[in-house]
Each structure stands twice: as structure tokens, then as C-alpha cells.
Amino acid sequence: MPTAFPDSIAGSPSCETFFDLPAKVERLGALESRQSDPVFWSNAEAAREAVQEIKRLKGWVGPYESLTSRLKSTAEMAELLAQEPDAGMATELDREAVELEAAVEAFELQAMLQGPDDPGNALLTIHPGAGGTESQDWAEMLMRMYVRWAERHGFAVTILDLLPGEEAGIKSVSIEISGRYAYGYLKAEKGVHRLVRISPYDSQARRHTSFASVFVYPDIDDTIEIDLREEDIKMDVFRASGAGGQHVNKTSSAVRLTHVPTGVVVSCQQERSQTKNRATAMKMLRAALYQRKLEEQEAARAVVEATKTDNSWGNQIRSYVFQPYTMVNDHRTELKVGDVQRVMDGDLDAFIEAYLKRFGGKAA
């Protein structure tokens, strides 16, 4: 007997109302019709905004129409199989039902990513907590975890700035992760991450607890209004760090920018050109200030609740335990995964999905 359709698939036509698809289809058609009018392109700014909206709408309408078509074909196959049993077709139907359920869940998850910045790229920074080499090694392990997660999803990864530790690990890193909804997913990772393990740097093989903080910013475009004046920016240049040899930068091409009014500091050493590094650092600074503004607005709304403590090391969002047992525990959703190595290899989707399903549009 073929696998029965899951409830999420069987009830998928109701998604049309839930996602307001008719309105999206109507709006998309109206915008595409306007594109054929020469007057549409006379206002470059309005045309650019319309094209971006068309792109966003297609991101909804396209997947929905594809799911609807697959659902119809699968239902027809099930009807045919009921009339003429066939083992090969039954196996194919089982496989399609499983794949269709995963596709519907992914589409439903997308509904939780409706923030204005969610569809864009992400800027992710990692800083170790107190603890020297052990915490710096933990920060590097987290960097590898996020790079592997991005690669699993086909996202592009660019290391914008990396400061290695003296013995091992890293003192800080800034990464750009480019891909559709990269920020929407990765915003679930913002917070303090805690590691418990027997330290390879302890000669007595004692168990250590280490912390590292992860910050995620939306990679905003130039249309976002940020009060960023040149006189408020202090620029320092220095030689890019590296492993030595022929790749060590002989000139002071790396750039560090400090926004004096807020104290926000960013740096970039990706390029050999100081000019290019400054341009990238400016983009990072704009993103950091934009995120700061959003957080200030959110904090103002949360004042009335007065229930949150400061974001200290004791308020970790997730714990990764390597010894005496293996467990990754997300303290916000209480999701627990026993295979810690799988998580460290970038399998974060279960945690991200649990976070989005619980907090949805409330996620900042």
C-alpha cells in the first residue's frame, strides 16, 4: 500500500488562504503588466523597487504553483494506483509523498521569514569569551560549523576579516554568507554558545566550559537610510594577518573603521587593495549600525515587559556537550540532539526550524 499523504500535503490547498496567494498572484500580474509600459522605466528608483517586489513575489508564487502541480500529479497517480495496483508505481508514489511533504514544510517555513531583511544576505561575526586558547578554539569550531551549514545550502561564503589566536583558534572573524534567506535563517543563531568538553589544551585532561558570542546582521543595501557621516568615522590601517610566506601582505592594506559616536568597530582584510577593504568595511559598518537601530527599537518596545536580563555569558542560547555525554541543547526551544558531531558539521536546520516555528515573526 502506498504511503498516505501527510496532513500538511492533504490540506495544502488551504495554504492559498494562509499565504494570501491570490493577492500575491494579482499583484505580480499587475507589476509585470506595468513593466511593458515604457513609462515604467522613466522613474529609475520606482522601477528598481518594483523589480525587487516582482522578485519577492515570484519567490512565493513560483514555489506554490510548483507544489500545486506536483500535488495534482501525485493525487492522479494515487487514483490510478487504486484502480490498477502496481508495485513499481507504489514505490514511486511513496517516494514522491515523502519529497512533497519536505517541500511543503520548507514552503511553510518560508512564511515565517517575512521580515524586510529576511530574504537577503547575512553578515556573521564570532568572538570568543574569556578563557584564552580554549575559547578561541571554540570560536574557530563555530566558524567551521557555519561555513559547513552555508555550503550545505549552496550559499556563498566570504571571510571578510579573521584575527587568528596566538596558539590556536581565532580571536574574531567576520563572514559574509550570500544566498536567498541567509539572514532570515541565521538570525536564529544570534547569541552566546556554550561548549563543555575535556580540553585538548589541558595537560590534566580536565573538563572545561567555554563561551563564544555570535552576532548576525542583515547585509543591507544603499537604499537604507543610516546617519553615517565621514567626520564620525575613524579609520586605521594595518598589515593583513596570515600564516606567513608569500601570502603575507607587505603593505598596510587592511582597514579598521570605528564609528566614534557609538563605538562600533569593524575591520576588513579580504582584499590586497586598501580602497576595496575600506568599501567592504563601510558596508559592514552600515549593517552593524542598522542592526543596532533595530535592536534599540526592539528594546524600547520591551521596556514595559522588564523581564529580560542583560546578555551575559550566563544567558547562552545553546549548549554543546562533548563529555561526559554528547548533546546539543537549545535552551530557547528545548530541542535536543544527541549527535554533536553532526551538528558541528553544519546540520543546524532542526534548531533553526524549531526557533522559527516557535518565535516566527517575533524573531529580531
What's the rounded Cα separation, in Å, for the pair 190 and 109? Answer: 19
Extended strands (E) in the chain: 122-128, 156-164, 170-178, 191-198, 207-218, 233-238, 254-259, 264-268, 318-321, 327-330, 336-337
Residues 6+ away with beta carbon under 8 Å from 191: 213, 214, 311, 315, 316, 317, 318
Sheet holding 327-330, edge to edge: 156-164, 170-178, 122-128, 207-218, 191-198, 318-321, 327-330, 336-337
DSSP 3-state of 119: coil
What's the rounded Cα separation, in Å, for the pair 99 and 80? Answer: 20
pLDDT of residue 42: 83
The type of residue at 251 is T
Closest CA to 176 of 140, 224, 219: 219
> pLDDT of 90-111, one tens digit each?
888 888 888 888 888 777 777 7
Closest CA to 182 of 120, 129, 116, 266: 120
Rama region for 318: left / alpha / beta (φ>0; ψ in -120 to 50; rest): beta
Residues of the chain with pLDDT under 50: 1-14, 17, 243-248, 304-312, 364
Grid cell at residue 12: 495544502
pLDDT of residue 306: 42
What's the rounded Cα separation, in Å, for the pair 100 and 74? Answer: 9
Angle, helices 44-83/87-110, rounded to nearest 10 degrees = 150
